[in-house]
């Protein structure tokens, strides 16, 4: 995946496992990613603020992280993966007040919903999943140190601000100059400089608070991630990630406060996935143009969302245009249909495998090329093209009833699927579920579909091709697609 080192940039891949180069895009050369501890990669990914349901924009970020972790595991590395929850924030306070519940109750509800959502898209659980409110002591310790160093200062209302101009490297991640940065419309008059940002926010009526040396208050957003990443991963660690909308100010501020206190880099590499857009607008809760993960995965399997994401390089914007989700679902069904054919030829269903070690040991030519593609900036878009090429080979071997070649292709796809988070279900069960979804959308029973197919077959037998085409088209309009195979006509949801 594409990563940035403050002041430069390089791409991140599992080349640390294989010594393959990752593309250093901004510097114009390739450079290997090497973990600070041999065989162990430490990753921190900024999680969600739990004030409402997660949407497919969040899903893209977490699938991007998941693919990174899966690939590192597949290459035989140990991974410590931390993904946090921000469970105290202005938005949470407003939402809880609107609903007449406590912030803590809101957090519990939305964290439970989040866990259900990430399971829907097949994300592996993180090693650690810290909540901000459970680490207040760490945040106070960090704030005290920064104040003692003169890099931060308290204000009369009990807040603490970071002196941005005291950190010489401010702007090195986002490549912004301080003098070019805009400041918000509402500026605390107690700030020494409009660019200074809050480490600790003094108490306001009706808000949750914790005691501090400066009076009751609550932590600032940026402080949370600095404290929790250092606690679970140390400093510096290997990879820090999140959406590209976090580069500034969140990640820039994390760097400033963490590196000011420790005098070493916060993280070696930075990973940022692109945003999902509807036309020219970013998908955003504030804009009201969101599709929740729950709603999306009610329409299609969670793996279809992953397939849609992989069609565009993870760091590029992805336009969520009409029909793209359903198109991805149809592509996913084609993959599962090929796997089902291989299982039929083998006389048994091959179980999915976990990602750990999936790309170690002797590899087939396909898996060698797949691994090399993923090594180069985690290029899942190109890797997916290889998967579909192998799919076509699998179908040809099934047509020829070449059991050995079909099983070899099936094994290749199973291993690639472990890296991409695909093929977690038994093909027969997946296809049955897909048909059931299609029937519900079409409002047809299996008996009605089979009767229509029988009527079409009768029309074809009578050479009444106009009637046969009419039946096929009517079913297509209802979301049922017919495919004529040597063994007979089969149907699937369209």
Q: What DSSP line would sit under 407-420, residue for residue? A: HHHHHHHHHHHHHH
pTM of the model: 0.88
State how far the alpha carbon of 9 is from the alpha carbons of 22, 33, 64, 231, 233, in Å: 11, 12, 18, 26, 22
- Residue 82, strand partner residues: 44, 128
Q: What is the pLDDT of residue 177?
A: 86
Please state the rounded mean pLDDT for residues 181-188: 70
Lowest mean pLDDT among 203-207, 372-376, 389-393, 457-461: 457-461
Q: For residues 395 and 337, what is the distance between their CA atoms, to the nearest angstrom? A: 9
Q: For residues 199 and 217, what is the distance between their CA atoms, to the nearest angstrom? A: 11
* Residue, of 213 and 181, whose pLDDT is higher: 213
CB–CB of 14/69 below 8 Å? no
State how far the alpha carbon of 193 is from the alpha carbons of 42, 170, 258, in Å: 35, 14, 20
Q: For residues 273 and 459, what is the distance between their CA atoms, to the nearest angstrom? A: 52
Is the pLDDT confidence value at 24 over 50?
A: no
Top mean-pLDDT range of 270-284, 293-307, 426-440: 293-307
Confidence of residue 482 (pLDDT cuts 50, 70, 90): confident
Cα separation of the two ends of the chain: 33
The pair of structure tokens assigned to 477 is: 């309009």
Q: What is the pLDDT of residue 39?
A: 96
CB–CB of 315/22 below 8 Å? no
Could you tell me which of 65, 273, 84, 260 has the C-alpha nearest to residue 172?
A: 260
* 3-state secondary structure labels for all residues of 154-218: ECCCCCEEECHHHCCCCCCCCCCCHHHCCCCCCCCCCCCCCCCEEEEEECCCCCCCECCCCCCEE
Residue pLDDT, tens place only, 32-64: 678 999 999 999 999 999 999 999 999 999 999
Is the pLDDT confidence value at 10 over 50?
A: no
Is the pLDDT confidence value at 9 over 50?
A: no
Please state the rounded mean pLDDT for residues 192-221: 96
> Quick one: what percent of the chain has pLDDT higher than 70?
90
Is the pLDDT confidence value at 330 over 90?
A: yes
The pair of structure tokens assigned to 391 is: 């799919």
Is the pLDDT confidence value at 329 over 80?
A: yes
CB–CB of 262/233 below 8 Å? no
Could you tell me which of 158, 155, 173 has the C-alpha nearest to residue 258?
A: 173
CB–CB of 141/260 below 8 Å? no
Task: Answer whether the bond into residue 236 is a cis peptide, omega within 30°.
Answer: yes
Is the pLDDT confidence value at 19 over 60?
A: no
Is the pLDDT confidence value at 227 over 50?
A: yes
Query: What structural domains and CATH numbers belong to the chain?
Result: 2-295 (3.40.50.620), 332-427 (1.20.120.640), 443-493 (no CATH)
Confidence of residue 20 (pLDDT cuts 50, 70, 90): very low
Lowest mean pLDDT among 234-243, 432-441, 447-456: 432-441
Could you tell me which of 315, 320, 299, 335 has the C-alpha nearest to residue 422?
A: 335
Q: For residues 422 and 174, what is the distance between their CA atoms, to the nearest angstrom? A: 34
Q: For residues 374 and 420, what is the distance between their CA atoms, to the nearest angstrom? A: 10
DSSP letters of 59-103?
Answer: HHHHHHHHHHHHHHHHTT-EEEEEE-BB-S-HHHHHHHHHHTS-H
* Residue, of 220 and 468, whose pLDDT is higher: 220
Q: What is the pLDDT of residue 494?
A: 61
CB–CB of 386/302 below 8 Å? no
Q: How many CB atoms neighbour CB 107 within 10 A?
A: 23
Q: What is the pLDDT of residue 290?
A: 84
Is the pLDDT confidence value at 221 over 90?
A: yes
Q: What is the pLDDT of residue 3?
A: 52
| Angle between helical axes of 324-346 and 302-310 (0-180°, round to 10) | 110
């Amino acid at each position: 995946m594409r990563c940035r080192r403050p002041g430069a940039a390089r791409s991140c891949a599992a080349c640390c496992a294989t010594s393959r180069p990752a593309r250093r895009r901004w510097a114009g050369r390739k450079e290997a990613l090497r973990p600070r501890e041999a065989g162990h990669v430490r990753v921190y990914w900024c999680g969600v603020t739990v004030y409402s349901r997660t949407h497919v924009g969040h899903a893209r970020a977490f699938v991007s992280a998941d693919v990174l972790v899966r690939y590192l595991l597949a290459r035989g590395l140990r991974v410590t993966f931390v993904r946090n929850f921000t469970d105290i924030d202005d938005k949470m306070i407003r939402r809880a007040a609107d609903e007449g519940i406590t912030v803590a109750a809101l957090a519990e509800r939305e964290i439970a919903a989040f866990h259900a959502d990430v399971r829907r898209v097949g994300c592996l659980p993180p090693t650690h999943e810290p909540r901000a409110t459970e680490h207040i002591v760490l945040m106070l310790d960090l704030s005290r140190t920064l104040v003692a160093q003169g890099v931060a200062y308290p204000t009369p209302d009990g807040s603490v601000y970071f002196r941005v101009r005291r950190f010489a490297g401010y702007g090195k991640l986002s490549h912004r100059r301080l003098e070019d940065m805009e400041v918000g419309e509402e500026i605390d008059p107690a700030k020494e400089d409009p660019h200074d940002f809050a480490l600790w926010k003094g108490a306001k009526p009706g808000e949750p608070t914790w005691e501090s040396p400066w009076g009751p208050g609550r932590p600032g957003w940026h402080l949370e991630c600095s404290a929790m990443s250092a606690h679970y991963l140390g400093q510096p660690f290997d990879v820090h990630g999140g959406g590209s909308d976090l580069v500034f100010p969140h990640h820039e501020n994390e760097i400033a406060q963490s590196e000011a206190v420790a005098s070493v880099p916060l993280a070696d590499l930075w990973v940022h996935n692109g945003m999902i857009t509807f036309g020219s607008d970013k998908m955003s809760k504030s804009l009201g143009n969101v599709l929740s993960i729950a709603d999306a995965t009610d329409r299609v399997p969670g793996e279809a969302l992953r397939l849609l994401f992989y069609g565009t390089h993870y760091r590029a914007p992805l336009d969520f245009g009409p029909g793209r989700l359903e198109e991805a679902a149809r592509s996913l069904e084609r993959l599962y249909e090929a796997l089902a054919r291989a299982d039929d030829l083998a006389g048994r269903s091959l179980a999915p495998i976990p990602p750990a070690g999936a790309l170690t040991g002797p590899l087939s030519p396909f898996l060698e090329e797949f691994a090399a593609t993923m090594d180069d900036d985690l290029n899942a878009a190109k890797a997916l093209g290889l998967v579909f090429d192998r799919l076509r080979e699998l179908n040809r071997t099934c047509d020829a009833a070449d059991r050995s070649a079909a099983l070899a292709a099936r094994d290749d796809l199973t291993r690639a699927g472990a890296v991409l988070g695909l093929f977690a279900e038994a093909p027969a069960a997946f296809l049955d579920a897909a048909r059931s979804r299609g029937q519900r959308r079409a409002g047809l029973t299996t008996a009605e579909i089979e009767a229509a197919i029988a009527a079409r077959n009768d029309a074809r037998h009578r050479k009444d091709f106009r009637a046969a085409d009419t039946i096929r088209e009517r079913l297509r309009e209802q979301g049922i697609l017919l495919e004529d195979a040597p063994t007979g006509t089969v149907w699937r949801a369209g």
